[in-house]
Amino acid sequence: LLLQTWANGINEAGKMALLAWEKETGIKLVQINGQRHYGGPPPGWEGGPPPAGTEVYIARLPQDIYENTLIPLFQSVGPLYEFRLMMTFSGLNRGFAYARYCSLQDAQKAIATLHRFPLRRGCAIVVCWSTQKHELVLSGLPASLSQQQLEAGLQMLTEGIRSVSLHTSPCQRQARLAVLKYSSHRAAAMAKKALMEGNLRLRKKGIRVDWLGPQLKKKLQLCEEEPSSRWEQRAKSLAVGRPLAVPLSLQNVLECLNMVCWKHRLQTPLFIIRCVQVNPNGWQKFWYQVVIPGYRVPISGFTWVSPDREGQSKQEKAKMVAALHFLRVLGESLHSQLSAFPKVLKSL
């Protein structure tokens, strides 16, 4: 209560000035999920959004400065497509914002002109390129949490998720972490906020949400070891869920996957298979992604393919692993997946 009273006290003049500026200019600001937006697109905009690389990051803002000061300042170097000011619950800004320009040249000009600009005496702001991160890491997850349960829960709590991958944590024993890839930086930032602030049960159990950094990304890549033949057989049995009565082949697996998709009223699966690494001993590492129109997120992963088996190309073997992966994900009905996540939260 004292914090709210203090914030209101120092903010009163700023709020009044902001309201007067909105009325005078006719600009509409929309606040949602801790961000206040201008534009995206602005009034009178025609065509698609500006290309990537046109957004700048603004930091070290005084917390009682608002759009009536910031938007005219950043518009002075070029027209804005969008301006986003991060806000606290008390009505102060969080000290940083994002400005997206209509062209790359205007974004460059903003950095050259406004970096270290003194908004107030002794208060020089930072203006630099926005990093546009798309990936989050959810760490401290229990080892018992399945990918199906995690995907269902994330679908309920966040928007714009593209892929989810579970890994053994390189830092914590008996724990797992998940890499979450989103469609845009904005979607990832909104997901980060929702997971951090909207689910206190996760936070109390030591589960953390952070941006995926290059060091951890490299560690996860190094932890992926070449599979042995026994690992391949175990992975296949886990993916299918029961022994197959027919010989395991790409055709049989694809027929099974198509049948499951038909049962869930989903369309024909689309496969993307790429070789990303070749070892001197003949092993090849493939990245795969399976997209099913109508299903909430693509399924992606990596697999090593051995050089010794004949009668089937390495591309086909990688496609089989991808199909088995999706079969495992679709092993339960969509309804049971969605209903399982609240139970998981209670157990965390």
What CATH number is associated with residue 163?
Answer: 3.30.70.330
Q: What b/e readout covers 322-347, taking b as 16+ CB neighbours within 10 angstroms?
A: bbbbbbbbbbbeeeebbeebeebeee
Q: What is the DSSP letter of 91?
A: S
- Whether residue 162 contacts residue 182, with contact meaning beta carbons closer than 8 Å, is answered with yes
Domain termination residue (choose one: 74, 97, 129): 129
Q: Is 307's pLDDT higher than 60? A: yes
Backbone torsions φ then ψ of 178, nearest 5 degrees = -125, 140
Q: Are residues 116 and 100 both part of a single domain?
A: yes
Q: What is the DSSP letter of 322?
A: H
Q: Are residues 88 and 64 both part of a single domain?
A: yes
* pLDDT number for residue 218: 74
Q: Tens digit of pLDDT for each residue in 196-251?
A: 765 545 555 678 888 888 778 777 766 654 443 333 444 344 344 333 333 456 77
Q: Is 60's pLDDT higher than 70? A: yes
61-77 mean pLDDT: 94
| Residue 194 lies in domain | 135-224
Q: Are residues 125 and 167 both part of a single domain?
A: no
Task: Write the CB contacts of 105 (distance below 8 Å, at least 6 apart in sequence).
Answer: 78
Task: Write the CB contacts of 148 (distance below 8 Å, at least 6 apart in sequence).
Answer: 329, 331, 332, 337, 340
Domain termination residue (choose one: 108, 129, 150): 129
* pLDDT number for residue 4: 45
Q: Are residues 193 and 214 both part of a single domain?
A: yes
pTM: 0.49
Query: Could you give the CA distance from residue 235 to residue 325 in angstroms, rounded to a whole number?
Result: 9
Report yes or no on 294 lying in a domain.
yes
52-66, 174-188, 226-240, 278-292: the lowest-pLDDT one: 226-240
Which domain CATH number covers 265?
Answer: 3.30.160.20
135-142 mean pLDDT: 87
Report yes or no on 5 lying in a domain.
no
For 83, the token pair is 């301006």
* pLDDT number for residue 223: 62
Report yes or no on 178 lying in a domain.
yes
pLDDT band of 6, cuts 50, 70, 90: very low
Number of domains in the chain: 3
Query: Could you give the CA distance from residue 53 to residue 65 in angstroms, rounded to a whole number?
Result: 26
Report yes or no on 236 lying in a domain.
no
Q: Are residues 121 and 144 both part of a single domain?
A: no
Q: 67-75 and 104-114 helices cross at what angle (nearest 10)? A: 110
Q: Residue 135 in 3-state DSSP?
A: strand
Among 232, 218, 238, 248, which residue's Cα sits nearest to residue 303?
Answer: 232
Q: Is 123's pLDDT higher than 60? A: yes
* pLDDT number for residue 222: 66
* pLDDT number for residue 345: 42
Report yes or no on 194 lying in a domain.
yes
Report yes or no on 243 lying in a domain.
no
